A and B are shown apart, each in its own frame.
Chain A
């Protein structure tokens, strides 16, 4: 157990170092100069700015960032938002992306399982058929299409919900459902097929034979077994949702990290790109590490 833990942590650190190195050198190799806009300042000014951000010497810069993070817990100033540090930006946008993702996952999980159950119970009848078509649409339609449809219906035609922004609960509903749609559809399908597999199992027949009411059979006996695939899907789903979605954030004008990331790349804001990539990497690696540890804990065969 201990050996696994140590080796997994070692692997995770290696992944983080590789990602940092690749990102850094790709940024250095990418064309464009972050300090040149449409109007070019005198070369002396560009030089002074490079010195301020430590970019006049790429090797020095390569070591400086991790060193700064480790020793001072500080990722330095951003280039394109000069009044804010990288940490300021992440601190303001990460909670937004994470909380939106958490709500989306909650919706996807509970609504997905409920709809999946409904589909399994009414197998072959119209609710099931509607759900099958709906989940197919949910999985195959990209989020900008779903988001636009929701906006058109709930914001433009019916004027029930605001079209975007952040800070008000009503503003969270449409983006959360847009973000959840694909995962919701997938969870519903997993639940439905899992339950159908269990319907014919021996223990279900036994439960029915001893006279349990059908609801109780489903909730107590079938669902726990049928939701196993859903559980294993939650790991990657959480990683994907909690890191934010650029598309959904852009459509609904949500000041989250996805948008900051894309803007930082376009502005060639090297410190900010590095900072956000590191946050993403640590989150993804962390989720995987937790899942691995959980598996090892649950299943003694993995060792």
Chain B
């Protein structure tokens, strides 16, 4: 009996020691900056990057033709040292730096860009952001010819991407795109080092090679940005060290950067409070209101929080009765007290919005007015629509997701406002996010929660969502007047006139047709002590450029248990 117990205990001991030895990471040295993200890295293949955390890591490891200016986020020279825009904004000629190098020392050439872009344009790559390439002439036709098994594939030479030599890349667009240089800094347009990926080729077929995703793992991954990836322990951490061949290596002051992620924001906050983590890429939602209160009272100085380039809004299914009646959609917007939502429900005092594109974020763009709260007017509209005090109106299905407990609270508060002000009854359906996304796509709702962060500094990042036929147009709004204005903006070469056309288009959305009800502008932030960490800060797009992060003085000693 005793022998059984002892053998069993020894066995357990062995399992513990063995498992711990296999899985235990080496503890970080105290000079590494430890940066904590909200979610795990999903992929380090630039073609697949759509998540915020992936994009942030991508921007630290790679560099596109342009890069973001750390202060303004405007595009500035990256791999391309200069460019010329000719042909009324239709032709971009990029001149690549001769000193740009991969992390294995090889030069970065136009061939690297052409290889990566051609791979992006193949449907089998599964690139979520492929539509960004459709600005380039011939790209859309090339992609859809490959996607359709019955179509004749088109040659890549039909796409407006040409290299005149190893350092000159010429891109032709369909129509002027004022934010094209901005896109050039974004992960889908990063170059790839074909030579280092070649040995991961799984099957080469017609113009397509599939690469075993192991090419993204150290020591296989070759990148051309500020850092190189030296360690990646799944679910534990990624370790970045400066790329010794990076052309601007003097600007990289951090010697070692560790990226960790905690799925539980409370655990992340505890780690930050105890000093085990130096930067939190988010402010824990459970505590945001309390932390901001402490900050205002001068009790802490490490909450870096601001309004960002994102909108929280509701979309209305424009194809279902009775919401296909624009009078009811207007009435719903007019009956909401948005100020009360941000002050009493979210309690984060976000800016209430009457428009979709956050005002003041895009230089030269003047937002339309939108609707101000007016319950009397809303009641009148309901009477005109034939539903005085909501009589005869069926209960409306309101769809929301559970990613943030705030969503349901906001929905309940607004449902109450609609009930009280208009007599409209709401049935709230809270769904897990995958089911929510599917029901949104299939239009299985009357009103649904939505949120959108702009991908580039242009109103179209929102307005495109309401074009007929856009796969992200979940409100299924279709209006020829709006589509026509958007089309005119597409082909308009003069930036000021183009913005005026877009203003007119947004005015149609928020003053007349209301396929969506804007609620407030998102806020977001970071947590770090600015006397310790420098080179980062919250910006309007929440793009954290990790290449500039550095210790302010010297690392805190012995803080890593």
Binding site for B on A (CB under 8 A): 30-45, 47-49, 51-52, 77, 80-84, 88-89, 92-93, 95-96, 98-100, 102-103, 105-106, 109-110, 151, 155-156, 159, 161-172, 224, 227-228, 231, 234, 242, 250-253, 255, 259-260, 263, 266-268
Contacts and interface: CB of A to CB of B under 8 A. Distances in A.
B234 A89 contact: yes
Contact of A48 (B13, B147, B471): B147
Given A227-B5, A253-B268, A266 B20 contact: no
A102 B18 CA distance: 10
B8 A234 contact: yes
A81 B127 contact: no
A39 B126 contact: no
Nearest to A53: B126
Contacts of B125: 48
B558 interface: no
Contact of A80 (B42, B144, B217): B42
Contact of B126 (A30, A48, A106): A48
Contact of B441 (A36, A161, A166): A36
Given A45-B126, A92-B233, A168-B561, A81 B24 contact: no
B214 A99 contact: no
Interface of B: 1-2, 4-5, 8-9, 12-13, 15-20, 22-27, 40-45, 48, 50, 123-131, 143-144, 147, 213-214, 216-217, 233-236, 262-264, 267-268, 270-271, 273-274, 276, 431-435, 437-439, 441, 451, 471-472, 561
30 contacts: A32-B435, A33-B438, A38-B451, A41-B128, A43-B471, A45-B126, A47-B123, A47-B147, A48-B126, A52-B124, A81-B42, A82-B42, A89-B234, A92-B236, A93-B23, A95-B22, A96-B19, A98-B15, A99-B15, A99-B17, A106-B13, A106-B16, A109-B8, A162-B271, A163-B274, A165-B271, A168-B24, A228-B1, A251-B264, A259-B263
A90 B561 CA distance: 27
Contact of A252 (B19, B267, B472): B267
A33 B15 contact: no
Given A89-B234, A168-B27, A253-B262, A268 B434 contact: yes
Nearest to B1: A224
Contacts of B19: 95-96, 98-100, 102
Given A44-B147, A102-B12, A253-B262, A164 B270 contact: yes
A44 B143 contact: yes
A37 B262 contact: no
B165 to A, nearest CB: 33
Given A44-B147, A48-B126, A81-B234, A102 B13 contact: yes
Contact of B236 (A102, A167, A242): A167
B547 to A, nearest CB: 22
Contacts of B44: 83
Contacts of A172: 20
B434 A155 contact: no
B235 A99 contact: no
Contact of A41 (B130, B235, B431): B130
B235 A83 contact: no
Nearest to B36: A253
A135 to B, nearest CB: 20
B274 A81 contact: no
Given A31-B438, A99-B15, A102-B15, A42 B213 contact: no
A128 B227 CA distance: 60
Nearest to B134: A42
Nearest to A268: B434
B214 A83 contact: yes
B43 A103 contact: no
Contacts of B2: 224
B370 to A, nearest CB: 24
B20 A99 contact: yes
A7 to B, nearest CB: 26
Contact of A162 (B40, B41, B262, B561): B561
A243 to B, nearest CB: 13
Contact of A36 (B127, B129, B432, B437): B437
B13 A52 contact: no
A24 B216 CA distance: 30
A48 B434 contact: no
Contact of B432 (A40, A260, A266): A266
Instruction: For the complex of A and B, list the 3 residue pairs with the smallest distance between their C-beta atoms, beginning with the closest.
Output: A99-B19, A32-B434, A44-B147
Contacts of B27: 167-168
Nearest to B10: A106
Nearest to B433: A266
Contacts of B20: 95, 99, 169, 172
B274 A159 contact: yes
A191 to B, nearest CB: 12
Contact of B43 (A81, A106, A259): A81
Nearest to B221: A83
B437 A227 contact: no
B271 A31 contact: no
A292 B535 CA distance: 62
Contacts of B561: 161-162, 168, 170-171
Contacts of A231: 1, 4-5
Nearest to A263: B263
A166 B432 contact: no
Given A102-B13, A170-B561, 10 more contacts: A31-B438, A36-B434, A44-B144, A95-B19, A95-B23, A109-B5, A162-B271, A231-B4, A242-B15, A253-B268
A105 B437 contact: no
Contacts of B16: 99-100, 102-103, 106
A95 B234 contact: no
B213 A250 contact: no
A39 B12 contact: no
Given A52-B126, A167-B27, A251 B267 contact: yes
A110 B9 CA distance: 9
Contacts of B147: 44, 47-48
Nearest to A82: B43
Contacts of B234: 81, 84, 88-89, 92-93, 255
Contacts of B130: 41-42, 45
A269 to B, nearest CB: 10
A102 B22 CA distance: 14
A100 B26 CA distance: 17
Most buried by B among A167, A260, A268: A167
Contacts of B127: 41, 45
B124 A48 contact: yes
Nearest to B272: A163
Contacts of A250: 263-264, 267
A268 B561 CA distance: 35
Given A40-B441, A96-B23, A105 B128 contact: no
A216 to B, nearest CB: 14
A105 B267 contact: no
B275 to A, nearest CB: 10
Nearest to B401: A38
Contacts of B5: 109, 227, 231
A41 B27 CA distance: 40
A168 to B, nearest CB: 5
Nearest to A257: B235
Nearest to B140: A42
B267 A267 contact: no
